[in-house]
Amino acid sequence: MQKKVIVIGGGFAGLTAAVYLTKNKFKVTLLEASPKLGGRAYSFFDKETSITIDNGQHILMGCYYETIKFLQLIGATDNFYFQKRLEVNFVEKGFKIKTLKSFPLLYPLNLILGLLNFNAITLNERINLLKVFLKLPFYSSNDFSDMSIKEWLEIENQSESVQSAFWRILAVGALNTSIEKASAKIFVDILKQIFLRGTESSTIVLPKSSLSECYSKYAQEFILQNGGCINLSELVENLIVQNGKVTEIKSSVQNYTDYDYVISTVPAFALARFLNDSSKIVLPEFEYSTILNIHIWLKKNVIPINFFGLINSPLHWVFNKGTHLNIVISDANVISTKSDREIMDIVKKELNEYFLIDPEIISKYKIIKEKRATFIPSKDIINARPPQRTGIKNLILAGDWVDTGLPSTIESAVKSGRLAAEIIIKSSL
């Protein structure tokens, strides 16, 4: 008999779980509270400009093996641009571009020479930076469980200028958290994945168009074509747990009792809302970090179509999409409390100083605040993430916040979705 699974949540984790389950002939019903798929990586049509824009710029990397496998499975890889070799442009004030790129040589010489030629820092600083990377294969990340990234960098004699021009940009972009708060353990694990798995691992992967067109649409079609069902605008309100099992799911539309397994892929704070006390599931008390995305339209687009990391700026990344600029500010809890006008004053000043953009050519803008974009991977919380199996027999957890060994990223979400599906598949053999 065909096993039935309810998947709660239509972000990367939920879509991944549903894709793998329908591929293996499970009957899947996916419930999504919003009228669209994508979770925290979604697109919407902007009536004012008549184009579809993303809630924010999402960067993948060549080491996102789970995500790339998922995209291959749903037939969506052609919708993404894959770098052949690592190349990232960093910008100093006055539109001075400093490029970090690997050389057309065998790995790891290509990355070593790339670091040695990164002239945003002095030669001595580059040598000290390289020393860290040469020691990386011999690190055990568990040795850094009790320290922050900042504390680790101080031990490694990384100067303030190296921290500003390299480490902060990399860490804040990957973890959406300051180096003072973020766990060194999880950051060392990230560095190993990016730089110790061959040339392709360190490359950047970017969507060619809107996220909806790049992956949500393809995942939806795969699920439906393989017998699954997707219910949008259906909010799960309560999970009834009796005798160690989820016996009923109450939603804003209907109640469900006919299923074998339930996968919850929603964030921890959302899960807490619909779990009753009898579940006995203890969820970590996560702190969350905001990501600000500012979409800006110019009367004349005066910078190259590319993406840029900003050195020593409150703005972290600028993506020129041709139609407009997408500015990303990570770790934005403080700046997000400012008014739109105050935020735009900061943005205008930085764009002028870094890209020589006259504020007068800004024709319109749109500010999007993802206030709980990611959890803060502090040294206190990193080992408190729950496993995917729960004390409830038929309930499995997924999402970027469960214990995947990865930070709160798309890769973590996809990995959790695939593992949740595998738990059910193996249990049903």
Same domain? For 175 and 143 the reply is yes
Last residue of a domain, one of 347, 375, 403: 375
CATH number at residue 270: 3.50.50.60
- Phi, psi (5° rounding) for residue 30? -100, 130
In angstroms and rounded to an integer, the radius of gyration of the C-alpha atoms of the chain is 22
- Between CA 139 and CA 127 the distance in angstroms is 19
DSSP element (H, E) containing 320: strand 317-320
Percent with pLDDT over 70 in the chain: 99
Same domain? For 279 and 389 the reply is yes
Question: Torsion over CA of 346, 352, 355 and 358, rounded to 10 degrees?
Answer: 120
Whether 143 maps to a domain, the answer reads yes
Same domain? For 271 and 190 the reply is no
Domain that includes residue 138, residue range: 101-199
pLDDT at 1: 77
Question: Which residues are within 8 A (CB) of 124 and not within 5 positions of it... i.e. 6 or more apart?
Answer: none
Whether 95 maps to a domain, the answer reads no
Last residue of a domain, one of 176, 199, 222: 199
Contact between 306 and 294 under an 8 Å Cβ cutoff? The reply is no
pLDDT tens digits, 322-355: 999 999 999 999 999 999 999 999 999 999 999 9
Contact between 230 and 30 under an 8 Å Cβ cutoff? The reply is yes
Whether 75 maps to a domain, the answer reads no
Same domain? For 182 and 136 the reply is yes
- Beta-sheet strand order (sheet of 261-264): 229-231, 27-31, 4-8, 261-264, 395-397
More confident residue, 303 or 275: 303
Same domain? For 177 and 311 the reply is no
Judge whether residue 424 has pLDDT over 90: yes
Same domain? For 181 and 106 the reply is yes
Same domain? For 370 and 412 the reply is no
Same domain? For 400 and 266 the reply is yes
Judge whether residue 278 has pLDDT over 70: no
Whether 60 maps to a domain, the answer reads no
Contact between 416 and 13 under an 8 Å Cβ cutoff? The reply is yes
CA distances from 159 to 163, 184, 250 (A): 6, 17, 55
Whether 331 maps to a domain, the answer reads yes
In our burial notation (b when 16+ CB lie closer than 10 A, e otherwise), range 323-338 reads: ebbbbbbbbbbebbee
- In the chain the first and final C-alpha atoms are separated, in Å, by 12
Domain count, the chain: 3
- Between CA 408 and CA 420 the distance in angstroms is 17
Percent with pLDDT over 90 in the chain: 85
pLDDT at 215: 95
- Phi, psi (5° rounding) for residue 188? -65, -40
Same domain? For 274 and 397 the reply is yes
pLDDT tens digits, 153-164: 999 999 999 999
Q: Is the dihedral of CA 326, 310, 369, 14 positive or negative?
A: positive
Same domain? For 119 and 177 the reply is yes
Question: Which residues are within 8 A (CB) of 345 and not within 5 positions of it... i.e. 6 or more apart?
Answer: none
Whether 255 maps to a domain, the answer reads yes
Whether 367 maps to a domain, the answer reads yes
Same domain? For 31 and 165 the reply is no
Whether 51 maps to a domain, the answer reads no
255-256 and 87-92 as β-strands: parallel, antiparallel, unpaired? unpaired
CATH number at residue 165: 1.10.405
- Between CA 228 and CA 211 the distance in angstroms is 21
Contact between 80 and 352 under an 8 Å Cβ cutoff? The reply is no
Last residue of a domain, one of 331, 352, 375: 375
pLDDT tens digits, 357-405: 999 999 999 999 999 999 999 988 888 899 999 989 999 999 999 999 9
Q: Residue 27 in 3-state DSSP?
A: strand
Same domain? For 235 and 262 the reply is yes
CATH number at residue 310: 3.90.660.10
Mean pLDDT in the chain? 94
